[in-house]
Structure 1
Amino acid sequence: MIFLGKARLFSFLVMSHFVVKFCIGGDVITSTEYIQDPGSITSSGGLYRMGFFSPNGSANRYVGIWYNNVPTYNVLWVANRDNPILDSSGVLTISDDGNLVIMNGKREILWSSNVSNSVTDAQAQLSDSGNLSLLKQSSNSSANNPETLWESFQDMTDSFLQKMKLSTNSGTNEKQALTSWKSPSDPSIGSFSASLDLRNIPELFIRNGSSLYWRSGPWNGNIFIGVPKMQSVYINGFNLVDDHEGKVYLTYSFAETSYLSYLLLKSNGDLVQPYLDQNSSSWGIVWSSRESHCDVYGQCGPFGICNANKSPICSCLRGFEPKNSEEWSRGNWSSGCIRKSLLQCNGTTNGSSTAGTKDGFLKLEMMKVPNSGIFYSTLEDECPGNCSINCSCVAYAYDPGVGCMFWIGDLIDLQKFSVGGTNLYVRLAHSELDDKGHLREIIAPIVIIGTLTVTIATWFARRKAKKRALKESMEKHLSSGETPSAMLGQNMSRVEFPEFVRYKIEELAAATGNFGENNKLGRGGFGPVYKGRLPNGQEIAIKRLSRASGQGHQEFMNEMVVICKVQHRNLVRLLGCCVEGDEKMLIYEFMPNKSLDTFLFDPLKRVHLDWRTRFNIVDGICRGLLYLHRDSRLKIIHRDLKASNILLDEELNPKISDFGMARIFGGNENQANTRRIVGTYGYMAPEYAMEGRFSEKSDVFSFGTLLLEIISGRQNTSFHEEDQCLSLLGLAWKLWNEDNGLALVDPNIPVTCFGMELLRCINVGLLCTQERAKDRPSISIVISMINSEIVDLPRPKQPAFTARRTTQDTDSSGQSQKTCSANDVTLTVLHGR
């Protein structure tokens, strides 16, 4: 770039500032539209700013990115962190070879994006995600989708923002890591780094140089089990993704876009989560990796256990004693502990029999499991035996998302938690076992058998009485004018529902023309649904439980409990109920456009669903599921997501309905089992249909099927023998492998306009319907995928149910259902086994 004279440079900067501000929105840098200190640019939405800054206590100048319009800003990314500008002469521009560069007043390049291929038409853009991208407009890229040459998200400093990818390549061990500042006033690379470790099960490690400083514990599919607060704080939005090409990365996003928070690796090695308090406009800390001295790796040495609530914080496990008593007494615990008695394994020592002296296991509750475990995907019941028969196994633990964990050698980084954690079982010599505990092991089977016998007999006797009492209690509370909060039981918090109404059957009969056929909207699995109009003109939908059906009472109660506890724009709103005698009815807000299937599977009506409308429906369903899974007061699994259970308002906005089959999870629950399979064939995840296991990922499978239906306009259960594919999933997979994915799209959608977006959504649909639950993304990741917030999508594997034909929907009696229902609220019960 030719050096400009002062007068020419000044006039050029004034002109370029005018162009940047008024022509391109102030978020782009080119070779002619550059930033000179103290200038800056702002992302198009105004959330992020990039420009020149000096850290507190330093006169050096750097280029960085920070939150815009925040009183006390925190710098989130620094370009020239190891090469500061010593005065205010710096310029950020695009060089002749197309690289983004920082130059000082002498035109010396102090930092560069270092793209090797020379580019003539490059420009840099700051996005509303905080990512600075170097872009090239090539012949193979559209105006709205230029080629990305370099991005700041791939060149991390000390901050981990939403949609960033903290990645490790298992083949090359190449890592993208956070690196701390040297000090709060010096952004050059410090001694601490944070990265993913993939040696066994993925963990997050912080290292001081090459030494391990902190570890998160293994990833179990939802959380890092060594971070207790992750149970409540971090489960919303975090996801670990395997791209099946050797790269594994951690990413996250918050459902509330206005929530300003991120992860920061401080110069002292502490990983913290700052957040902006909107009320005080000041930054607070949600979580810190170092809340006590116990959070430093290996604080108490081998076989030492750290407990921050005790003094001293370090002690030896039962059956162990300090290796160096003198050092231990002075508070130097790094040497750890050694066993008091040798292990006997299976009753033998050095080949000689020592019958009756078999080793046992000490149970430690709420523990951070040690480092360097060996992991097997086996059943929980098999853990003790597998460890016991292996004389090298010194401890074991089990987590549902990880499986059995075994340890050989020293147990390092043991920590006792006050909440969360995992049960750890440590092998001890027979002489160290509690005699009373040993006796309990002998009599335990007898006690268990006797207890089970009494429990089973009592259960059958109480079952009928409990059902009768539940019904009487419900009628009693409703007749006294109490809201459903009185019926939620002692295990749920009491919540008032001021808008919930108890209707009289006379009111509902008048509103529906005495439940006349002209007002019948359709029939669900447990009875008809009617349209009604109240005296004030309000239109309502009434689901009437069939008196002839022996089913439905439990589902009726369940739906009242669930819907009254959740409120979201993409969930149908329950207005009230009616319980009189044998009559049980639920009253909902009326949806004038009925359910999605009445549009989607009708050749005449689906022409009204253009792609933008369909995409809005898909996004709304995602938002509703995210609320159920992560953001509501209860964690709810729907279990019957399908087109007929998506209602459409007057503007075709979607609302998820039918919570009769929904299950409420406890705070630490991620998966459950059932012997009663309920839902609809064609939408059930394989682990649920075949084994009764359900989780968030089973809802994701149903959503994936529904997404492919919305794209194609075809019902998953509508395939017949003349079709050459086994199901809609089979057709989608076949076309995808033939690089002909757009052939799946409904002919009413112009693929020339929305081709890339449609292919992205088909890819997401196939990812959601993977055979194994752990291969499916969470719903928060799905939202990021369909909205192109995650740019590179993993390649899908073959989805489930492509090797055999999908069965038509049947109700619990085995009778066929219509392939297109016309009801507002449907509910189908199926027995999948």
Structure 2
Amino acid sequence: HPTDTILPNMSLQLSNNNNLSTHLVAWRAPDDPSTSDYSLGGDSSFQILVWNRTMPYWRRAALDGVLVFAMYQSKSGPIMSQTIVNRGGEFYLTYTVSDGSASMRMILHYTGMVKLLAWNSNSLSWDVFFERPGSSCDRYASCGPFGYCDATEAVATCKCLDGFESVGLDFSLGCQRKKEIRCGQGDSFITLLNMKTPDKFLYIRNRSFDQCAEECSRNCSCTAYAYANLSNLGVTVDQSRCLVWMGELVDTEKRGDGLGENLYLRIPSSSVNKKTGALKIALPVMASLLIIMCICLVWIRKSRGKDQTKAPMNYAVPEQLGNSDVLYDQNSEFLWISFNDIIAATDGFSDSNVLGKGGFGIVYKRAHWKVARKLLLKGLPSVLIKEWSILETK
């Protein structure tokens, strides 16, 4: 019983033939080495747990083939690794450290935190580079049954698994199914990626992935399953690991470090069909709306263009013109035309030159081509020489 500390190459017994294990026991205070309520140990499923008296406080998920327990970022890469060793039916957890690395140790802190420490020769102190639980919802079952801690968010928060909804404002009450599963009426499994597998599972040995899936699908009480290939652990443990859950899923987490695994969750088939059907309806509707919006935008642009071409020219009144001979200013919204030139062009607003009358006044034709030529030479656009449209004035 190594009190609260385990050093590299020491072995922590997880279980033996009598289902007993070795525990780390935290100090009661920084200066009080008497035993506290916090202890750490393992079980036959190779889970690592911290207990507060008899209640779980934090749990590391069942072994899934990942050997690295903590990553200490340095130029040489990870320097601490974890292995499970089978010694005649008794399983031990062993930590090893790379050659030339700093001195390291793992402790169960008096606060219940699991900490990996590395000696800093510059500051002559122990640096913490890994600790759990990492957040409030990382504590055991803090998000309640069928809830999970989403560690991928900037701030880890509790959420409900797919197909479930919150029971109340307090997530400790967990989540409930939106639609109950009726045995024999069809159901499906959805894949939840990168998950910390829940607690309270049934460990089935020596199963392939298909056999593991069949174990759950044929039992209406099975809510989820998970499978891992442990062949990279050598001959120390079983080559496969099939976990099935027959009731509530507790202490689940969405991992943000890529060390999670697939969790296959049972939901009613109608939920899958409903989502698929809604998607099939939504996509054509969205495409149709997009086409209609494009047509409307083109029509509006064309309408604005027609309005601009149909918009009447603004003409200055004689008081504004004075005796100026400036005919057209590109930077002005007004077309500057000498009033005397207009009189000459219309032959003094002669009735013989009237083409017709409209809501905006009388329309005159040009009277003298020489005057029109004069206006053209001054810069008046030729289109305006063909016909004049001005307000009737005295």
Deviation at 1:186, TM superposition (A): 1.3
Q: AA paired with 1:360?
A: S
Q: Match of 1:173? A: 19
Cα pair distance change 1:239/1:175, threshold 3 Å? same
Q: Match of 1:303? A: 146
2:233 equivalent to 1:390:
no
Q: How far apart in 2 are the matches of 1:369 and 1:231?
A: 26
Q: Match of 1:369? A: 197
Which of the numbers 23, 48, 57 marks the counterpart of 1:204? Answer: 48
Which of the numbers 172, 187, 209 marks the counterpart of 1:380? Answer: 209
Q: AA paired with 1:338?
A: Q
Deviation at 1:258, TM superposition (A): 4.9
Which of the numbers 161, 175, 189 marks the counterpart of 1:337? Answer: 175
**How does 1:734-753 map onto structure 2 within 5 Å?**
none
8 A contact 1:259–1:276 mirrored in 2: yes
**How does 1:436-447 map onto structure 2 within 5 Å?**
436-437=275-276
Q: Match of 2:59? A: 215
Which of the numbers 263, 267, 275 marks the counterpart of 1:424? Answer: 263
Cα pair distance change 1:438/1:388, threshold 3 Å? farther
8 A contact 1:318–1:432 mirrored in 2: no
Q: How far apart in 2 are the matches of 1:230 and 1:425?
A: 32
Deviation at 1:287, TM superposition (A): 0.8
Q: Match of 2:4? A: 158
TM-score computed with the length of structure 2 as normaliser: 0.61
Q: How far apart in 1 are the matches of 2:245 and 2:257?
A: 23
- Aligned residue for 1:238, secondary structure, equals strand
- Aligned residue for 1:334, secondary structure, equals helix
Cα pair distance change 1:429/1:234, threshold 3 Å? farther
Q: Match of 2:355? A: none
2:48 equivalent to 1:193:
no
Q: How far apart in 1 are the matches of 2:198 and 2:116?
A: 24
- Aligned residue for 1:218, secondary structure, equals coil
Q: How far apart in 2 are the matches of 1:382 and 1:340?
A: 29
Identity of aligned residues (%): 34
- Aligned residue for 1:411, secondary structure, equals coil
8 A contact 1:166–1:176 mirrored in 2: yes
Deviation at 1:163, TM superposition (A): 2.2
Higher strand share: 2
8 A contact 1:223–1:231 mirrored in 2: no
Cα pair distance change 1:273/1:434, threshold 3 Å? farther
Structure 2: gaps (5+ residues):
231-239, 280-394
Cα pair distance change 1:293/1:399, threshold 3 Å? same
**Cα deviation code 1:70-115 (max 9, x no counterpart):** xxxxxxxxxxxxxxxxxxxxxxxxxxxxxxxxxxxxxxxxxxxxxx
Q: How far apart in 1 are the matches of 2:50 and 2:210?
A: 34
Structure 1: gaps (5+ residues):
1-154, 348-357, 441-833
**Cα deviation code 1:696-736 (max 9, x no counterpart):** xxxxxxxxxxxxxxxxxxxxxxxxxxxxxxxxxxxxxxxxx
Cα pair distance change 1:433/1:221, threshold 3 Å? closer
8 A contact 2:15–2:43 mirrored in 1: no
- Aligned residue for 2:35, secondary structure, equals strand
2:247 equivalent to 1:409:
yes
Cα pair distance change 1:333/1:229, threshold 3 Å? farther
Deviation at 1:202, TM superposition (A): 1.2
Superposition CA RMSD, Å? 2.8
**Cα deviation code 1:11-37 (max 9, x no counterpart):** xxxxxxxxxxxxxxxxxxxxxxxxxxx
Q: AA paired with 2:13?
A: S
Q: AA paired with 1:423?
A: N
Q: Match of 2:235? A: none
Deviation at 1:218, TM superposition (A): 1.1
Deviation at 1:346, TM superposition (A): 3.3
Q: How far apart in 1 are the matches of 2:79 and 2:261?
A: 17
Q: How far apart in 2 are the matches of 1:282 and 1:422?
A: 36
- Aligned residue for 2:137, secondary structure, equals helix
**How does 1:722-733 map onto structure 2 within 5 Å?**
none
Cα pair distance change 1:280/1:266, threshold 3 Å? same
Deviation at 1:230, TM superposition (A): 9.5
- Aligned residue for 1:431, secondary structure, equals helix
Q: Match of 2:283? A: none
**Cα deviation code 1:789-818 (max 9, x no counterpart):** xxxxxxxxxxxxxxxxxxxxxxxxxxxxxx
Q: How far apart in 2 are the matches of 1:253 and 1:157?
A: 19
Q: Match of 2:299? A: none
**Cα deviation code 1:306-348 (max 9, x no counterpart):** 114266811222222233x2xxx2xx3222112122212332x
Deviation at 1:192, TM superposition (A): 0.4
Cα pair distance change 1:411/1:283, threshold 3 Å? same
Deviation at 1:435, TM superposition (A): 3.5
Which of the numbers 260, 272, 280 marks the counterpart of 1:433? Answer: 272
Deviation at 1:169, TM superposition (A): 4.0
**How does 1:685-724 map onto structure 2 within 5 Å?**
none
2:96 equivalent to 1:253:
yes
Q: How far apart in 1 are the matches of 2:227 and 2:262?
A: 7
Which of the numbers 150, 164, 169 marks the counterpart of 1:320? Answer: 164
**How does 1:507-546 map onto structure 2 within 5 Å?**
none
**How does 1:449-460 map onto structure 2 within 5 Å?**
none
Q: AA paired with 1:177?
A: H
Which of the numbers 215, 228, 243 marks the counterpart of 1:399? Answer: 228
Q: How far apart in 2 are the matches of 1:311 and 1:430?
A: 33
Deviation at 1:157, TM superposition (A): 0.9
Cα pair distance change 1:416/1:389, threshold 3 Å? same
8 A contact 1:374–1:405 mirrored in 2: yes
Deviation at 1:360, TM superposition (A): 1.2
Q: Match of 2:82? A: 238
Cα pair distance change 1:276/1:229, threshold 3 Å? closer
Q: Match of 2:311? A: none
Q: Match of 2:354? A: none
Deviation at 1:437, TM superposition (A): 4.3
**Cα deviation code 1:620-652 (max 9, x no counterpart):** xxxxxxxxxxxxxxxxxxxxxxxxxxxxxxxxx
- Aligned residue for 1:387, secondary structure, equals helix
8 A contact 1:346–1:389 mirrored in 2: no
- Aligned residue for 2:173, secondary structure, equals coil
Cα pair distance change 1:239/1:385, threshold 3 Å? same
